[in-house]
Amino acid sequence: MDITFVNTPISRQLLKDAAAELFGDMVKAVVDIEREIMAIGGELHADEEALLLNAGSRQQDLWGINLYPDKELPEMIEFDSLINIRPRQNNRSRDIENPLIREKILEIMRKLVV
């Protein structure tokens, strides 16, 4: 599966298909918390990040996550990616440390994954 730009709701089955192609039970995603869109299906979060940057997203709004489509929200989301290491935004680990950003991502996932 190529990287897919997601700005309208997608099915859980599409996530499962994307996961099966690369990692089995997980699909990587990058979420733009300002525009409430995401990219899925890349081998690296950085690839999805590049697609969103080229589509007009701002770096500070992009956060990498992993999605486990066999699980329900919020357990479906793992807030872990190398692109999340941002000392200038007070995020010094791969994890998304700010609970407000985590909640925003969860809110976006409720809208985009049906």
Could you say which DSSP state residue 86 is in? B
H-helix segments, the chain: 12-22, 45-54, 99-112
* Domain extent at residue 94: 4-112
**How far is the C-alpha of 110 from the C-alpha of 53, rounded, in Å?**
23
Of the candidates 63, 54, 8, the residue with the CA atom closest to the CA atom of residue 34 = 63
Instruction: Return the SS3 of 96.
Output: coil
State the total domains in the chain: 1
Rounded mean pLDDT of 65-78? Answer: 97
Give tens-digit pLDDT for 85-113: 999 999 999 999 999 999 999 999 999 99
Give tens-digit pLDDT for 10-34: 999 999 999 999 999 999 999 999 9
